[in-house]
Amino acid sequence: MMTQSNEAFVRALLKSLKGERGHIPIANALSDIGWELAGKHIEGIPYSIYQLLKHMIYWQDFLLLGLQGEQPKLPTHVKESWPDESNAENQEEWQKVIEHFLQGLEQACTITQTMKLDEPLEKYPDVTRAEHLRNIASHNSYHLGEIVVMRRLLGSWPPPSGGYPA
């Protein structure tokens, strides 16, 4: 039986994963970005939006594997979690990247709603499911802020759905 505090935690974690309340929903911040914009570089920023989202996918997938009982190998160096290519080859490939990321978010939300969050992970006994899910939410939130700033600098903010803060 789930207690009221557990239910409140699950609701808060879901909002953190999806990007509600504290900032724009993640899907709204990504859905209208075209592949050309995703590959643009801004002086002083070492990566494109495309590279940033691929980096987010790398770690989201890594953490999701841990939640599924696997123990993926940590990269030797963090640069391995960043793609070499600056952009997708076309809009279709870029859309697949966005869809992959959003499907991973949905998977994290499903785990949040269906599994015991206070249980330790099989391959990481000192880490609970809740901690792993919080890592996904905070890492994505951190980099979503960068995407929003990059979009502002590129003159592509707010999205059609609106953005807050404006």
Dihedral of the CA atoms 120, 75, 72, 99 (nearest 10)?
100
| Amino acid symbol at 66 | G
Query: Which residue has 């075209």 as its token pair?
Result: 34
Tokens of 132: 């792993």
- Total count of residues recorded for the chain: 166
Q: Which 8-state DSSP code applies to residue 128?
A: B
Say how far residue 119 (Cα) sits from the centre of its chain: 23
The answer on whether 77 is annotated among ligand-binding residues is no
How far, in Å, CA of 72 to CA of 60, rounded? 12
Binding site members: 55, 139, 143
Binding site members for a divalent metal cation: 55, 139, 143
